[in-house]
Structure 1
Amino acid sequence: MDLADVSIETVNRASAEDASAVSALAEAAAGVDGASPLSEQSRLELRHGAPAAREVLARDGGTIVGFAHLDGSDPVDGPSAELFVAPHARGAGLGRALLEALAAEAARIDADGRLRVWAHGKLPAAERLAAALGFTAFRELWQMRRAGTPVPAPDLPTGVRLRTFRPGVDDAAWLALNAKAFAHHPEQGAWTADDLGRRFAEPWFDPAGFFLAEDTGTGELLGFHWTKTHPATADSGPLGEVYVVGVDPAAQGRGLGALLTAVGLRHLAERTVEGRPLAETLLYVDADNEAAVKVYTRLGFRVHTVDVMYRR
């Protein structure tokens, strides 16, 4: 491929046709790289649009050969992005061109021109590109996995009861708890009712796998564990996921995180997808979250892949 023949455009929202093409291209890239190049949030914003999102499309003769997603919604840490190049179009400098286009767009929407970029899978090519353009790694996100076997039944603390989520009833209370639990993690803590609703509409959503811990006296939500399942692929059987676990900071120290994690893992051990048991259960955790890593390691999780965030 000749880079001179490639056009790069930035749009507020991709068309449905382009979004479908990007999704298919991302799957092809994941098959080659062993890691998906786009996060769930980027995929949802690609399909549904978002006020602070920008999509960068690279075309060769009308065919999309590269893509970047820019999220400008974080006023504290600045814009963040993801990008990837089609496997057959690599080696021609398109990755650099996409990253430069992202930097230009970030400078347009952020007064300080800040830009953070995720590289999924910690691939050597991404490390070289980051170094060439002056980006440095500052965050690692681990995907950890364990066999889909059950864990011992946990003891329920006094004054706490467990139940499952009720869509349309628990939405506002859960969003408030999520904001408190992830006050220093805006990628999660800033979720809105729209973010929640989009996930309710996903085919994997099952309220029977969304567990809540609440105070038996007041009914106040204290913590939650939202589980998720993934269908089988050519390389793997169906997977379970510890999608997100959160505890109200005021309720920490009561063992609720470990309790809710165990409850969700026991649920996933009994799940099937298309008649097949879950091969493994995965989760994502920041590498520097030592307390969480210790808990997950004790439960049998091991590092599977590493995502790196760079900034300049």
Structure 2
Amino acid sequence: MTAVSVDVLRRAEGRVLDLAVELLETATRVDGVRPVSEEAELRLRHGGPDDGRDLVLGQEGRAAAYARLDRDGDGWQAEFVVHPELRRRGLGTVLAERLEDLAGDAPLAVWAHGELPGSTELATSRGWTPTRTLLQMRMPLAGVDPDPRPQLPDDVVVRPFRPGIDEAAWLRVNGRAFAHHPEQGGWTAHDVALREAEPWFDPAGFLLAWRTAPDGTETLLGSHWTKVHPAGEVADEPVGEIYVLGVDPDAQGLRLGRALTDLGLAHLRSRGLTDVLLYVEQDNATAVRLYEGSGFTRFAVDVQWHRAAPRS
């Protein structure tokens, strides 16, 4: 293989950005899984934290490989993809070496989406070890109750999200519900705004459970944010997703999680969708059993690999 170079950019723009996005779309179509997370793609298209970087390897007039590198506590987190037509040529190794150089002495975690054979081979060849496994689970919507009527406390009502009004309340509850989650618990108003601007955003499928006090004040207790993936993104047909489902710890015991789940699934079915997906940590055995008992089955696996120390 001839020598190749990797452009390390504060932010990909113009033609470089277009080529990187085209690479992600091509890899999604060929592999059947998204090559990077939604968060990484949003940061590619809209920019991210000041210390984050886009890495682009150009070859043959296209983006041959792309990576997103961001700070993660005391270390770094990355995701990358090689063009399907240019794999097995050492380009993944070039990108991995560049990521390790940029991480320096700090820990480096790299996500491999879909657990493709080439990703596993590359990671193990560099001495990386798997530290997290994220399951994608799917379920048909045919058996979902199209008109659930969950029994809620008399002072609790579920209604759709109101853009420009409900963001602060949702962020507060999301932070409490996912206080120990490495990604979800740290969302900001900017993260929500980016998603509100996405073509898939639909406030009618973003359901919030509110409690009304005797004086009329309302407190958000939990929510179910659903999403619809367009045809060609995760399947040939559109697919729904349990995108974010969270209940304030102080509201546990009210069965709001079950109620919000049923209402969200009914909404997705009303959109004419046939399947729904969700993501869950493999080591969350309680949640996995719950979803399996509800009819979800394992569909795909994302693995996070970890390099604790620089290679000698």
Choose the corresponding residue for 2:99, options 91, 96, 102: 102
CA contact (8 A) 2:138 2:296 kept: yes
Residue 190 of structure 2 is aligned to residue 183 of structure 1 = no
* Deviation readout 1:206-240 (Å, 9 max, x if unpaired): 11110111223251111110001112129521111
Change (3 A) 1:253 1:79: farther
- 1:66 is aligned with what amino acid? A
Of the three residues 98, 108, 116, the one matched with 1:115 is: 108
- Identity of matched residues, %: 49
Match in the other structure for 2:76: 79
Q: What SS does structure 1 have at the residue aligned with 2:136?
A: strand
Cα separation, 1, equivalents of 2:154 and 2:290:
22
Unpaired stretches in structure 1, ≥5 consecutive residues? 272-276
Deviation at 1:158, TM superposition (A): 4.5
**In the TM superposition, what whole-angstrom CA distance separates every residue of 1:31-61 from its partner, at most 9, and x where no partner exists?**
2222110111011000111123211111125
SS in 2 for 1:13: coil
1:115-264 alignment, distance < 5 Å: 115-149=108-142, 150-151=144-145, 152-217=148-213, 218-233=217-232, 235-264=235-264
Count residues in correspondence: 299
Match of 1:294 among 289, 297, 301: 289
Q: Is the 8 A contact 2:19 2:63 kept in 1?
A: yes
CA displacement at 1:62 relative to structure 2: 4.8
One-letter identity of the residue aligned with 1:304: F
The aligned runs of 1:54-73 (5 Å cut-off) are 54-72=53-71
CA contact (8 A) 2:211 2:219 kept: yes
**8 Å contact from structure 1 (residues 142, 287) kept in 2:** yes
TM-score, structure 1 as length reference: 0.91
Q: Which deviates the most, 86-95 or 289-298?
A: 289-298
Give the corresponding residue for 1:274. Answer: none
Question: Residue type of the partner of 1:39?
Answer: S
**Aligned-partner SS, 1:37:** coil
**In 1: Cα distance, 2:243 partner to 2:18 partner:** 24
Contact 1:16/1:47 (8 A) holds in 2: no
What is the distance in 2 between the residues matched to 1:143 and 1:215?
32
Amino acid at match of 2:84: P
Output the CA distance in 2 between the equivalents of 1:141 and 1:45: 21
- Distance in 2 (alpha carbons) for counterparts of 1:69 and 1:295: 33
C-alpha deviations, 1:134-188, integer Å up to 9, x for none?
Answer: 1101111111111122235432245422111111111111111111111111311
Tell me which stretches of 4 or more aligned residues in structure 1 moved more than 4 Å: none
Q: Please give the alpha-carbon distance, in whole angstroms, between the structure 1 residues aligned to 2:254 and 2:263.
A: 15
Q: Which amino acid aligns with 2:130?
A: A
Aligned counterpart, 1:26: 24
1:148–1:269: 8 Å Cα contact kept in structure 2? yes
> Letter of the aligned partner of 1:69 in structure 2?
R
What is the Cα deviation at residue 11 of structure 1?
Answer: 0.9
Q: Matched residue of 1:186: which SS?
A: coil
Any idea what the Cα deviations from partners look like across 1:14-36, whole Å, max 9, x if unmatched?
A: 01322221121112112222211
Whichever residue aligns with residue 224 of structure 1, its letter is: S
Output the amino acid matched with 1:181. Answer: A
Q: 2-side partners of 1:3 and 1:306: how far apart?
A: 33
Other structure's SS at 1:70 match: strand
